[in-house]
Amino acid sequence: MRKALVLDFGGVITRTLFETHDLSEKALGLPPGTLTWRGPFDPRGDDAWRSMQAGAMTERDYWALRMRETGALIGESWSEFPQFVGRVRGADPGPVIRPEALETFDRVKAAGLKLAILSNELDLFYGAGFRDKLAFLRDFSLIVDATYTGILKPDPRAYAAIIDGLGIAADDCVFVDDQLKNVNGAREAGMAAVHFDVTRPAESYAEACEKLGLNASNASA
């Protein structure tokens, strides 16, 4: 059994903005079907997403573009990501947390393993106060956020920070991220890794549990 589950935040723990257009449109007072960009759910219909996947723009650039476009639809101009997220998601993050994530966290805790987050933009994107609304984060041993470190995955130093902070070997970690370049970076750092499929979250979390060594007998122990 490995010793820690290390996760990206974004689409791994929360439902993506692609999945919650209905909630966003309602929050912004937009007609249903106004927001059409779907990222990994419809790559052919999202030119900017394909550009990001090809390395022509960063993930932050992609969301900055969507922030500008969405603000323009309602005559608002947002300069910071938390303004964007706050407007489209409201004050209660509960409905957008993946139930599969919470179930997995319970299994990891029950097995006595560690939980950690390695994010490129947790507080940058959601705002510093967002964490206080998520009670499950109290069970996490470590959160490394490039909002403050300035070291973005897949830089090897990002993975070193989480490994050193947890005080365990790289191959004792299972790393989960929805961006393949970050998954590859984790593998190069010596971690076991899962490329999270936001279109099939239950299967991705099942794979992570398998790599952790959490089989049925572990879960019931």
Global pTM value: 0.86
The DSSP result for 84-109, as a single string, is HHHHHH-S--GGGB-HHHHHHHHHHH
With a CB cutoff of 8 Å and minimum separation 6, the contacts of 199 are: 40, 41
Q: Which residue has the tokens 């992570």?
A: 208
Instruction: Judge whether residue 220 has pLDDT over 60.
Output: no
Predicted pLDDT of residue 71: 97
Q: Which residue has the tokens 């960063």?
A: 58
Residue 98, token pair as written in the block: 């993946």
Tell me the pLDDT tens digit for each residue of 150-188: 999 999 999 999 999 999 999 999 999 999 999 999 999
Closest CA to 208 of 181, 174, 183, 184: 174
How many CB atoms are closer than 10 A to CB 147? 15
Residue 51, token pair as written in the block: 């550009």
Domains and CATH numbers, the chain: 4-15+94-220 (3.40.50.1000), 21-89 (no CATH)
Which residue type is seen at 121? Answer: E
Tell me the pLDDT tens digit for each residue of 80-135: 999 999 899 877 888 899 999 999 999 999 999 999 999 999 999 888 888 999 99
Instruction: Judge whether residue 219 has pLDDT over 70.
Output: no
In a 10 Å sphere around its CB, with 0-12 CB exposed, 13-18 middle and 19+ buried, how is residue 72 labelled?
A: exposed
Tell me the pLDDT tens digit for each residue of 16-59: 999 999 999 999 999 999 999 999 999 999 999 999 999 999 88
